[in-house]
């Protein structure tokens, strides 16, 4: 247990008991970690109350603590938001690293000005303007801008209108890109109505914009203002042509933000689908780093508190993949917004679509960083979710034992990578230390030998260990791993009878749907391990039978016996061979070949049943 530095120990004695945020600092004054607490006193003191055996990151943090700051806030909801803001400000090395929003652009509409402008910015300020984004796909943002510029006549100048006005309109007026409100050729009221439509378009409500433009076109035509009607007709054509390409997918329902989540070890991705008027219009995402040792709920909560809450444009409904500890606090920060965690139906389908996007982005990250050269399939991700694994089981091994009435006992280990068999990594074992039928002891020996050899060769350990069998085999495998210091490796077993999954550390078995891709993946690796073990057992039994028959023949020693098996493959092959073929082998003559054939024929005769 690490003792708190003297100055920190003094502060620990006088901590308030209410909600707040705490900042651990290093010797150089840099912020190492920012955390929130419902009760500051008990949470902060807990860092020095144990050795934190289950978190290497926390152990490392505590050893570097030199100072402490605390900030008291009125409620736990305030602490949630303050924590996220301080993490953005200080970027502490021990916190989950959220890629900064400032690297993503926004479209800013200055509705706080009499004649609003529209431009791209990477800085969001509380200045009364409307911000659309952030756009993780810059190409999508540029396409939105091009559509607005073709259809609407938003001014591109930087005049502080109406205080600062030019004497004559610029080139945009003459090429019909602007209607020159700067020289009063367009009224402020007309300009404001156009800006309202620009905002509707950027919010994804292009259908409402089409309706408004069509109404004004018909009104202009009925008033015999044919020039104005023609302008509106051209704008309407552009809108109708541009609306469909912006729609990626039509889904049921109104406005929703749907969150998907994928994780692999120290990296996670959160994908956000923006659905407006039942149309999927955009996908945004955030990469989360340094999440090792953190629960998925905490990672998701940080994204929501640190990024989603600050987004200037949110739907009335937020759909999430799973629950998280700070849900009630987040709901306080999102008044009027409904949160759903669906288990089935349309919303669940949308979450699965968002999760597919998150998995795709995570695989791209892994491939780009050379951490993987093959994409992991969806069954691998589902297996990680069902087993609550923090690291994706890209590599899996499965062990099985095969024996014949206590003899020829062998073990097998098959290796899967990204859901596919990798036969070059298969291993087979002759069980050496077990006498008779004892599957548990045999499993203990095989697992011990495999991982001792893998550590000696300095090869990476598999992400998941699967055992063919039930609780007994699982316990034997864990005892073997624990004896060599690998007791914390993810370990499961799959029983054949009811296809129950026993997870080490859980009291009750896990039962998945028979159609579950995760279960089918486990069945595939289990069946492959069984096939490999049985085939090796049969080969061993066959070799033993061949050896015993040939050993009983005078003049056939180990060298000659090995030659016969290598050339003819089996005892039956020797029986079928001609005298000349046997006599041609080194150490054999026609006389010894004939003696061998006679002895084999005699053993065949004694094996035949007596005739009536």
Annotated domain spans of the chain = 6-95, 106-249, 256-368, 387-539, 552-607
Domain 552-607, CATH homologous superfamily name and number: 5' to 3' exonuclease, C-terminal subdomain (1.10.150.20)
Q: What is the model's pLDDT at position 248?
A: 41
Grouping H, G, I as helix, E, B as strand and the rest as coil, residue 426 is coil
E-assigned strand segments in 63-103: 67-72, 97-98
Q: Are the CB atoms for 373 and 367 separated by under 8 Å?
A: yes
Give CA torsion, residues 383, 388, 392, 393, to 10 deg: -60
Q: What is the model's pLDDT at position 478?
A: 95
CA nearest to 429, candidates 460, 400, 397: 400
To which H or E segment does residue 283 belong? strand 279-289
Q: What is the model's pLDDT at position 541?
A: 63
Distance CA 10, CA 250 (A): 60
Distance CA 181, CA 167 (A): 12
| CA–CA distances in Å: residue 119 to residues 107, 123, 130, 139, 243 | 6, 12, 11, 15, 21
Grouping H, G, I as helix, E, B as strand and the rest as coil, residue 602 is helix
Q: What is the model's pLDDT at position 551?
A: 53
For residue 123, the 8-state DSSP code is: -
To which H or E segment does residue 452 belong? helix 439-456
Query: Would you say the CATH fold of 256-368 matches that of 6-95?
Result: no
Q: What is the model's pLDDT at position 547?
A: 53
The CATH class of the 6-95 domain is alpha beta
Contacts of 167 (CB under 8 A, 6+ apart): 183
Contacts of 439 (CB under 8 A, 6+ apart): 401, 403, 469, 472, 473, 476
Compute the chain's Rg from CA coordinates. Answer: 36
Q: What is the model's pLDDT at position 240?
A: 63
CA nearest to 35, candidates 11, 61, 1: 61
What ranges in 552-588 are assigned the alpha helix state H?
A: 558-568, 571-576, 579-583
Distance CA 176, CA 195 (A): 17
Distance CA 158, CA 149 (A): 16
CA nearest to 122, candidates 130, 114, 113, 131: 131
Question: Which mean pLDDT values do the consecutive 10-residue runs of the chain (612 residues) have?
Answer: 80 82 90 90 86 74 89 80 80 77 74 89 79 71 72 84 86 84 88 86 74 82 83 72 44 78 90 79 81 87 87 87 89 87 87 85 78 78 89 93 78 92 92 84 94 93 94 94 92 88 90 89 93 82 56 66 73 79 84 80 53 31
pTM of the prediction?
0.60
CATH code for the structural domain at 256-368:
3.30.420.10
Q: What is the model's pLDDT at position 580?
A: 86
The CATH class of the 387-539 domain is alpha beta
């Amino acid at each position: 247990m690490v003792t708190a530095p003297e100055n920190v120990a003094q502060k620990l004695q006088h901590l308030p008991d209410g909600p707040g945020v705490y900042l651990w600092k290093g010797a150089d004054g840099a912020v190492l970690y920012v955390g929130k607490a419902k009760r500051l006193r008990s949470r902060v003191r807990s860092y020095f109350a144990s050795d934190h055996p289950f978190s290497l990151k926390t152990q490392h943090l505590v050893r570097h603590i030199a100072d402490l700051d605390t900030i008291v806030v009125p409620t736990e909801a305030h602490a949630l938001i303050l924590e996220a803001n301080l993490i953005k400000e200080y970027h502490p090395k021990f916190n989950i690293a959220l890629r900064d929003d400032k690297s993503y652009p926004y479209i800013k509409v200055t509705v706080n000005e009499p004649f609003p402008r529209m431009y791209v910015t990477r800085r969001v300020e509380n200045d009364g303007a409307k911000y659309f984004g952030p756009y993780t796909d810059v190409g999508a943002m540029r396409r939105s801008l091009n559509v607005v510029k073709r259809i609407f006549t938003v001014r591109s100048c930087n005049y502080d209108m109406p205080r600062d006005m030019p004497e004559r309109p610029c080139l945009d007026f003459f090429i019909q890109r602007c209607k020159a409100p700067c020289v009063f050729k367009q009224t402020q009221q007309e300009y404001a109505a156009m800006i309202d439509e620009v905002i509707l378009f950027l919010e994804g409500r292009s259908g409402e914009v089409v309706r408004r433009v069509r109404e004004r076109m018909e009104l202009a035509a009925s008033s015999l203002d044919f020039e104005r009607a023609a302008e509106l007709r051209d704008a309407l054509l552009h809108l109708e042509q541009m609306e469909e390409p912006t729609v990626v997918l039509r889904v049921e329902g109104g406005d929703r933000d749907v969150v998907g989540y994928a994780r692999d070890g120290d990296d996670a991705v959160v994908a956000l689908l923006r659905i407006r008027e039942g149309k999927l219009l955009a996908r945004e995402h955030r990469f989360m780093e340094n999440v090792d040792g953190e629960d998925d709920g905490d990672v998701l909560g940080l994204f929501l508190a640190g990024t989603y809450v600050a987004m200037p444009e949110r739907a009335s409904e937020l759909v999430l993949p799973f629950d998280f500890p700070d849900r009630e606090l987040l709901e306080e920060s999102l008044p009027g917004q409904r949160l759903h965690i669906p288990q089935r139906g349309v919303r669940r389908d949308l979450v699965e679509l968002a999760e597919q996007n998150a998995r795709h982005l995570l695989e791209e990250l892994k491939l780009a960083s050379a951490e993987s050269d093959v994409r992991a399939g969806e069954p691998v991700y589902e297996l990680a979710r069902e087993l609550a694994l923090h690291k994706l089981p890209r590599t899996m091994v499965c062990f099985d034992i095969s024996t014949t009435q206590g003899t020829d006992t062998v073990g097998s280990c098959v290796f899967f990578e990204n859901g596919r068999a990798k036969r070059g990594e298969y291993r087979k074992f002759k069980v050496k230390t077990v006498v008779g039928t004892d599957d548990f002891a045999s499993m203990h020996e095989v697992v011990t030998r495999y991982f001792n050899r893998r550590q000696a060769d300095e090869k990476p350990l598999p992400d998941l260990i699967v055992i063919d069998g039930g609780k007994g085999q699982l316990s034997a495998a864990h005892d073997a791993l624990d004896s060599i210091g690998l007791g914390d490796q993810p370990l499961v077993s799959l029983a054949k009878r009811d296809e129950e999954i026993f997870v080490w550390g859980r009291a009750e078995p896990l039962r998945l749907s028979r159609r579950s891709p995760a279960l089918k993946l486990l069945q595939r690796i289990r069946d492959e391990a069984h096939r490999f073990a049985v085939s090796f057992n049969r080969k061993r039994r066959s070799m033993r039978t061949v050896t015993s028959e040939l050993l009983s023949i005078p003049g056939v020693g180990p060298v000659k016996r090995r030659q016969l098996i290598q050339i003819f493959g089996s005892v039956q092959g020797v029986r079928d061979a001609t005298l000349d073929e046997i006599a041609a082998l080194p150490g054999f003559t026609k006389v010894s070949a004939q003696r061998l054939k006679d002895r084999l024929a005699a053993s065949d005769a004694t094996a035949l049943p007596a005739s009536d």
